[in-house]
Amino acid sequence: MNSWLLFSISFLGLVCAEEDRNCEVKESNVFYPCTISTDVLQVTKATFEPEIIRAGENLWFTIWGNVTEQVDDGHLKVTTSLGPIGYNLVDQTLTKERFDTPISFPIKPGPFMVKRRFLVPSIAPPITYKVVVNSETDTGKKLFYLVSNLKVSF
């Protein structure tokens, strides 16, 4: 299987959950996995750090889970938007140098953990954003789907 890992984080005004997923966000700065049985990565936990997120500072994203089938290649795309204005934060091929934990392809079935640092734009207003993390293979098969409210503070 020649799969591509498409990992996108979208800061949106509204969370548009997929019909077959029950995604309820209960508190800010906590990711809620909306995993279904057909996802390639069965997410067990996903977190943000630090607890208080500030514009112009690093945000750490960590995900844990179990991969159910091999993923051969990958691509990372992070898109940010608030209302109709959007831009790509990251659009790159996945390599171990771009992650804060080692990652190499192919990703074999079994336990999986990855940590990635993102810089919150210094111009990000101090409000709560709806966040959808959605990933797919090159054939459109879902890897995982997460939702959250991300609160940026002063």
- Residues lower than pLDDT 50 in the chain: 1-17, 19, 78, 80-81, 83-97
Q: Give the integer Cα–Cα distance in Å for 154 and 143.
A: 34
Question: Torsion angle of alpha carbons 85, 133, 117, 12, nearest 10°?
Answer: 20
Q: Is the distance from CB of 46 to CB of 62 less than 8 angstroms?
A: yes
pTM: predicted TM-score of the whole model, two decimal places: 0.70
**What is the Cβ-side half-sphere exposure of residue 95, based on CA atoms within 13 angstroms?**
5
Q: Give the integer Cα–Cα distance in Å for 57 and 70.
A: 34
Q: ∠ CA(56), CA(115), CA(1), 5° rounding?
A: 125
Domains of the chain: 6-153 (2.60.40.770)
Q: What is the pLDDT of residue 126?
A: 86
Q: What is the pLDDT of residue 92?
A: 43
